[in-house]
A and B are shown apart, each in its own frame.
Chain A
Amino acid sequence: MTREISVELRNVDKVYDTAKVVDGVSFSIKKGEVLVLIGPSGCGKTTTLKMINQIIPHTAGNILVNGEDVTKLDPVELRRSIGYVIQYIGLLPHLTIEENINFVLQLTKRPKKEQQERALELIETVGLPADYLKRFPRALSGGQQQRVGVARALAADPAILLMDEPFGAVDPLTREQLQNELMRLQETIKKTIVFVTHDMQEAFKIGDRIGIMKEGKLVAMGSSMELVNSDDEFVRDFIGRGALFDVLDTISVTRVLRKDIPTIREGEHFDKESKMNGWDNILVLDERDAFLGYVSIENIDASGKISGDAVQRVADAFPAELSIKKAIEEMLYGGRTWLPVAGDDRVFKGIVTFDSCAGLLSKEGGS
């Protein structure tokens, strides 16, 4: 299935005097995708981002937003249709939080009532109490201000969001919280997001794809797993040795589940001949499909019933919402080679093994 392309750069250059600060950058972003741009300071990330909404005009190449060349669009209209969040937040200190959130709606002269409703809705969306609407930015902490920054960018319901190190100026705990909130929000709003950061962990966590820049060039682009598996020396050096575990911490264990293992409901009959799929054990579930334990094939009699109390009870199932890294840790510390995995309704989903985790690495990105 091919999704619509939302933003596309074709061979884009930015030249200041004689310095080429962005050099032949090309990429395209699908609708609803989160693309992270990362690279050393001064490599041209911000410049690349700002060329998309033409705050900085590009020198050469083409930039297309929803298929239209940005140079053919009215820059003011273009910017109003794209949400923009910057590192230094840039809340207007003379306006209340409500007026800040509604800034774009005011510029476009939307009705007052619509503005009020939108501000109320958005302040809740970003997890701030409604009575903050009447306050001024200086009364808010850095993290709260950045939440307002995000709310403000969403006000006109743009399909595209540009975020330039949005969480760069807040403390690590707040940053993690804001990242989590953004990801939760993204599940429902499904914006196309271009996100600039210099924090690799943040990139792994947030990005569907990550583009690595160096001296104005885009030197690598791919999913976090693709980058971890990259042969490119700069990419390997840049993301560092510890990166693998950071990446594995951002991928749900459901990505490496094995579902081919045979299962039996307690008390039911099992057909040994056709259903073993080469396994030696069968997992036992209760009547609601919650995991109970496992039983060896030898303990199933000819009629397909479990003999006696042969079911081996093991610890509770591993929660499906946790990461591969957590599953590997659980196996290492618990001396296990596999874990049953269940959703939060306790329904068994499959098992994870060391091999299935390793399979992700060898499968070239595994996407």
Chain B
Amino acid sequence: MESVVNFFQYFWDIRETVTAMAGRHAWMSLFGVLLGTFTAVPMGIFVSRNKRVSGYAIDLAGMLYTIPSLAVLGFFLPFLGLGWMPTIAALVIYSWLPILRNTVTGIVGVDASIKEAARGMGATSFQMLVRVELPLAMPVIMAAIRTVTVLTVGITTMGALVGAGGMGDLIFQGISMMDNNLILAGTIPVATMALLFDQLLGLLERRLKVSAGIT
């Protein structure tokens, strides 16, 4: 009981530091997801035109996905130096597989008769993409973005190891000092943030599904 009170007391004392770190953590995570989305979705659109190519692309993204995050951070250090940049780069790489895969699945999965009708009515391939394929694939793509966002909030923690800051600073400091209060003060906001983002995107996803006529 005493330790719980202790923790809250401690947490309250460092609340300003925590808020600042959480803010930095959040923007790095979101920036990573955004950059990942804006690279993976176009890639997904591009490779979805060809079954073989999309197979290779998904395999490649899958391989990148299995590399430990520490290794990815280490890999980018020589190019991007210390700080937030290698962290963002790692986040982008981790976001690729789910978003790429779901973009391809979503586009390829659009009902053939719907596409045929649109083509038969004279949609150009660009009109087909923006008016038919993307809107109908959107819920599937959103689901991936949601998964990636949760994942990313966790991975951003590792960024502290390359000087990116964020909640990882508290956690790793806590680990090296074997201070549980410090570890908790870092972990709880990270977990809360992940849950919060997940819920918000879940809400967005449902709205997209409704406007996509899928319920």
Contact = CB atoms under 8 A, between A and B. Distances in A.
Interface of A: 50, 53, 55, 76-81, 84, 86-95, 103-104, 106-108, 136-138, 152-153, 162
B213 A86 contact: no
Given A84-B117, A86-B116, A88-B113, A94 B122 contact: no
Contact of A91 (B117, B120, B136): B117
Give the 10 A-B residue pairs with the shortest CB-CB distance, closest first: A90-B117, A80-B122, A84-B120, A88-B113, A79-B122, A93-B213, A94-B212, A94-B213, A90-B113, A94-B135
A195 B186 CA distance: 69
Contacts of B215: 138
A86 B121 contact: no
Contact of A92 (B119, B120, B132): B132
Contacts of A137: 213
Contacts of A153: 121
Given A90-B114, A90-B116, A104 B122 contact: yes
B116, B127, B135, B215: most-surrounded residue (chain A CB, <10 A): B116
A81 B215 CA distance: 34
A153 B122 CA distance: 11
Interface string B197-214: 000000000000001111
B211 A94 contact: yes
Interface string B120-135: 1111100100011001
Nearest to A77: B122
Contact of B121 (A50, A95, A104, A136): A104
Interface residues of B, number: 22
A53 B117 CA distance: 12
A7 to B, nearest CB: 15
A233 B74 CA distance: 80
Contacts of A136: 213
A138 B212 CA distance: 11
A53 B127 contact: no
17 contacts: A76-B122, A81-B122, A86-B113, A89-B117, A90-B111, A90-B116, A92-B117, A92-B132, A94-B135, A95-B213, A104-B121, A106-B131, A107-B121, A107-B122, A107-B127, A136-B213, A152-B121
Contacts, number: 74
A86 B120 contact: yes
A93 B123 CA distance: 16
A174 B132 CA distance: 29
B212 A80 contact: no
A55, A91, A93: most-surrounded residue (chain B CB, <10 A): A93
Contacts of A88: 113
B39 to A, nearest CB: 25
B194 to A, nearest CB: 30
B211 A53 contact: no
Contacts of A78: 122
A141 B213 CA distance: 15
B205 to A, nearest CB: 14
B6 to A, nearest CB: 54
A103 B123 CA distance: 9
B116 A55 contact: yes
A86 B123 CA distance: 16
A86 B114 CA distance: 10
Contact of B136 (A53, A94, A104): A94
A93 B118 CA distance: 12
Given A55-B116, A107-B123, A136-B213, 6 more contacts: A84-B120, A92-B114, A94-B211, A106-B131, A107-B121, A138-B215
Contacts of B121: 79-80, 84, 103-104, 107, 152-153
A88 B127 CA distance: 21
Contacts of A94: 135-136, 211-214
Contacts of A86: 113, 116-117, 120
Contacts of A84: 117, 120-121
A101 to B, nearest CB: 11
Nearest to A93: B213
A92 B118 contact: yes
A338 to B, nearest CB: 51
B157 to A, nearest CB: 38
Interface string B127-166: 1000110011000000000000000000000000000000
